[in-house]
């Protein structure tokens, strides 16, 4: 059951609502209930969010909230909450705040004593991990790659001894360079490229960096891919 504001509370409730990462049918019943009940929905791209709302015949006031202009909209959104209006935060796809805009707004809401309630649902990280076939008892989510090649190299070198499965978000145009850097800086690893998750062309490519480099040139890659890298194996002490 979705918690509601008590009668003696003046401030609204701030809901963090996970939305589909591709297939619009992956929305939860609870998420739909919340989206129908709030006064305002804060979203990254109103054109993306309206597709979801139209499918489920939901009409709400939308406020665009995106990087790098998050700070401009924070006072507006907090203002609604302080006036007693319930607000939902959604991203273009997946769970808000996970490599998506949201953290500064959530932090400010908590500072203002506003109740923040997560409405769980789709996440590209968990979706990819669940079907990758790599160890999941321990994983390290590293989000998007640093913009500079030298920074990516330093990051990979720092992860050489990491035993957890590594998870990155990588744009297709950066895949060849990234695979080459993995091959250069990490020891023998198993790699999984999860692409078009939950969509009609969903696929999982598995292999070594070299094997995948030979394959990706033949496959059209769209959107962002989730790249999973097996952790290093612990060396036995002699």
pLDDT digits (tens, 9 = 90+) for 100-109: 888 999 999 9
Parallel, antiparallel or unpaired: strands 225-229 and 191-195: antiparallel
Domain span holding position 175: 124-229
Name the percent of the chain lying above pLDDT 90.
79
Q: Quick one: DSSP state of residue 169?
A: E
Give the pTM: 0.89
Examine the domain organization and report whether 200 and 115 are in the same domain. Answer: no
DSSP secondary structure letter of residue 84: T
Report helix, strand and coil shares of the chain as percent, to nearest 5.
35, 20, 45
Omega cis (within 30) before 68:
yes
Domain count, the chain: 2
Q: Which residue has the higher pLDDT, 9 or 118?
A: 118
Does 89 share its domain with 162?
no
């Amino acid at each position: 059951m979705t918690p509601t504001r008590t009668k003696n509370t003046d401030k609204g409730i701030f809901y963090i609502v996970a939305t589909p990462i591709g297939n619009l049918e992956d929305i939860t019943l609870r998420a739909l209930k919340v989206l129908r009940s709030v006064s305002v929905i804060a979203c990254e791209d109103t054109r993306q969010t309206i597709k979801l709302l139209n499918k489920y015949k939901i009409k709400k006031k939308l406020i665009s909230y995106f990087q790098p202009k998050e700070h401009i909209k924070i006072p507006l959104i907090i203002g609604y909450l302080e006036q007693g209006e319930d607000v939902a935060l959604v991203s273009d796809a997946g769970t808000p705040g996970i490599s998506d805009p949201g953290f500064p707004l959530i932090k400010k809401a908590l500072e203002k004593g506003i109740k923040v309630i997560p409405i769980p649902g789709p996440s590209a990280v968990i979706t990819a991990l669940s079907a990758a076939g790599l160890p999941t008892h321990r994983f390290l989510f590293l989000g998007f790659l640093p913009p500079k090649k030298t920074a990516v190299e330093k990051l990979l070198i720092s992860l050489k001894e990491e035993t957890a499965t590594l998870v990155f978000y990588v744009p297709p145009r950066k895949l060849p360079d990234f695979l080459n850097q993995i091959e250069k800086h990490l020891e023998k690893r198993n790699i999984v490229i999860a692409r078009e998750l939950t969509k009609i062309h969903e696929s999982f490519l598995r292999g070594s960096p070299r094997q995948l480099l030979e394959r990706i040139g033949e496959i059209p890659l769209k959107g962002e891919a989730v790249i999973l890298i097996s952790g290093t194996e612990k060396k036995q002490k002699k």
